Amino acid sequence: MVQIGVVMIKPCKKCGSVERYKNGCCAPCAREYNRRWKEANSEKVKEDYRRWKKANPEKVKENARRWRKANPEKTKESSRRWRKANPERAKEQSRRWKEANPEKVKENTRRWREANPEYGRRWRKANSGKKNIPSDIEQDDVLDDEDSTELIQ
């Protein structure tokens, strides 16, 4: 017998633990029993879980949100793998989000440009000679101002 405070607790006959649930059952033994039962009845456990998820969609969403917040690296890695495996769906999803959130896109672009000014300078330098032309016309097909004045004369 182990005395905790004023209460005397009998050790478990199977494992010797004094850890008990409120109903008096040995906690380690009960966990082991439940683990074996779930292993033996995995289909029933899965079906019960499916029913619970269907009946509690808000709790499922909240649990998923908490997990993503607690595991940001795993979330990023999972998202990266999904995008790599589904490039067309990822592209379409991104396009729809951008169409639905133009203000957020504009704000994100502005913040990125402020944080990365060297890219803007490099891009302007690399593209300073190009004209703003439709994509179906080649850059070489466009006459420069100098070329056009020769043709006029």
SS3 track for the chain: CEEECCEEECCCCCCCCCCECCCCCEHHHHHHHHHHHHHHCHHHHHHHHHHHHHHCHHHHHHHHHHHHHHCHHHHHHHHHHHHHHCHHHHHHHHHHHHHHCHHHHHHHHHHHHHHCHHHHHHHHHHCCCCCCCCCCCCHHHCCCHHHHHHHHC
pLDDT reported for residue 151? 46
Q: What is the pLDDT of residues 27-74, one digit of tens each?
A: 999 999 999 999 999 999 999 999 999 999 999 999 999 999 999 999
pLDDT reported for residue 60? 97
Confidence of residue 138 (pLDDT cuts 50, 70, 90): low
Domain ranges of the chain: 1-39
Q: Does position 17 have pLDDT exceeding 80, yes or no? A: yes
pLDDT reported for residue 134? 61
Q: Is the model's pTM score more than 0.85?
A: no
pLDDT reported for residue 132? 66
